[in-house]
């Protein structure tokens, strides 16, 4: 067996740990790709009854992004079971209370409801920032590629870069420049 | 003698030719063809405020536009709300959008750009262009505004009347060229 093939076999039969940076990612979009690693769908030995999934460590879950007005419009429903016990919480309010909950719910609700779902969810480790315990970090061997690129702010560019960037319009001839 | 409308002097002061200058009013009307910058100097106990002519800071890096359409239509760019280096060119130092008579864009592009600028501001990508007393840190905003948002550019409305005119012009040109060929 070749060296590469041997490593592939190790990775298939071992429980690997993957890292995912959730900064500026939509949790609803990246739920399917994370589910793939949690269940082991990327492995050739996959079968629904074979427990071959990997661990996924999600960091920076506080910095997830939603499109447009989704933070206000998206509502999470809960019912206590008593009469009048229904509550509707907007996404931003839920995120204030627990910054990991929206991500966990997104992955949980994307998976099919069966007896394995809660077992698979135990392998998902979500952290609101980049402070991860060392016993978790030392296991990580792979990083899941982000789906969205992080947008660059104007402040991150230097003054020279902004000045030398090609200009589309010029000021009109009788324009009064205001000082910054 | 010429009759000068007063509003013409006040509003378009720089566009009034020097021949129509009337000294009896006491208004100094000049026709500067340069950009101006206002300087405030303190000499002794006196405050002197003067407007000095300066060359345009964008002169060296300007893309020349020789076509009939506006400078943005000429380039044919697909501008996104994350392209802050382009959007910041249409914005004043306090972050507000410049009007159409200054930007010189067509109506469609002006509306599109102003919406993209507001998207970039909401996403917190142009925080350095803001009034002095505003909160420049996006994480200190109120309620849902403190969290990261991105926008879909396809939600910007396209006004059909603009394209109707273009279509009509294309058809008219085609008919003209056909008629010339037949003749």
ipTM: 0.84
For B84-113, the pLDDT digits (tens) are 999 999 999 888 999 998 888 888 889 999
Facing A169 at nearest CB: one of B103, B150, B152: B103
For B29-58, the pLDDT digits (tens) are 444 445 777 777 888 788 888 777 777 888
Facing B75 at nearest CB: one of A26, A91, A168: A168
Mean local confidence (pLDDT), B131-148:
88
Dihedral sign from CA coordinates of B158, B162, B164, B167: negative
Q: Which residues of chain A have pLDDT under 50?
A: none
Q: Collect all residues of chain B within an 8 Å Cβ-Cβ radius of residue A168.
A: 63, 71-72, 75, 86, 89
Facing A65 at nearest CB: one of B32, B128, B149: B149
- Res B161: pLDDT: 67
Please tell me whether residue A55 adopts helix, strand or coil conformation.
strand
Distance from CA of B80 to the nearest CA of A (A): 11
* Average confidence score pLDDT of chain B: 79
B29 near B45, Cβ under 8 Å? no
Cα separation values, B148 from A36, A154, B69, B130, B143, Å: 26, 16, 36, 18, 12
pLDDT at B8 over 50: no
- Res A180: pLDDT: 52
Burial string for B107-135 (b: 16+ CB within 10 Å, else e) reads: ebbbbbbbbbbebbbbbbbbbbbeeeeee
Distance from CA of A62 to the nearest CA of B (A): 8
CA dist A86 and A62 (Å) reads 26
Tell me if chain A has a CB within 8 Å of the CB of B124.
yes
């Amino acid at each position: 067996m070749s060296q590469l093939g041997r490593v592939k076999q190790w990775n298939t039969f071992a429980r690997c740990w993957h890292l995912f940076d959730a900064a500026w990612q939509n949790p609803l979009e990246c739920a399917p790709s994370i589910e793939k690693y949690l269940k082991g769908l990327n492995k050739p030995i996959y079968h629904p009854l074979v427990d071959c999934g990997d661990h996924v460590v999600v960091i920076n879950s506080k910095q997830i992004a939603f499109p447009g007005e989704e933070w206000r419009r998206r509502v999470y429903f809960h019912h206590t079971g008593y009469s009048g016990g229904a509550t509707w919480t907007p996404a931003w309010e839920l995120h204030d209370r627990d910054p990991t909950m929206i991500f966990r719910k997104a992955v949980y609700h994307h998976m099919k409801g069966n007896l394995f779902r809660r077992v698979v969810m135990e392998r998902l480790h979500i952290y609101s920032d980049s402070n991860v315990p060392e016993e978790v970090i030392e296991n990580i061997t792979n990083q899941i590629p982000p789906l969205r690129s992080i947008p660059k702010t104007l402040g991150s560019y230097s003054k020279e870069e902004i000045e030398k960037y090609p200009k589309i319009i010029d000021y009109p001839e009788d324009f009064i420049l205001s000082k910054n | 003698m010429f009759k000068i409308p007063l509003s013409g002097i006040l509003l378009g002061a720089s566009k009034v030719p020097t021949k129509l200058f009337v000294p009896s009013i006491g208004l100094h009307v000049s026709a500067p063809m340069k950009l101006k910058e206002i300087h405030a100097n303190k000499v002794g106990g006196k405050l002197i405020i003067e407007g000095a002519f300066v060359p345009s800071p964008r002169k060296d890096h300007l893309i020349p536009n020789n076509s009939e359409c506006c400078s943005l239509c000429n380039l044919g760019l697909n501008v996104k709300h994350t392209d802050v280096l382009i959007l910041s060119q249409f914005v004043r130092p306090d972050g507000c959008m410049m009007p159409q008579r200054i930007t010189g864009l067509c109506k469609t592009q002006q509306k599109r750009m102003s919406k993209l600028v507001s998207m970039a501001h909401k996403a917190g990508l142009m925080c350095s262009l803001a009034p002095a007393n505003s909160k420049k840190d996006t994480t200190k905003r109120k309620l849902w505004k403190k969290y990261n948002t991105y926008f879909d550019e396809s939600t910007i409305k396209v006004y059909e009347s603009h394209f109707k005119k273009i279509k009509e012009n294309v058809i008219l040109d085609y008919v003209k060229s056909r008629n010339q060929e037949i003749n």
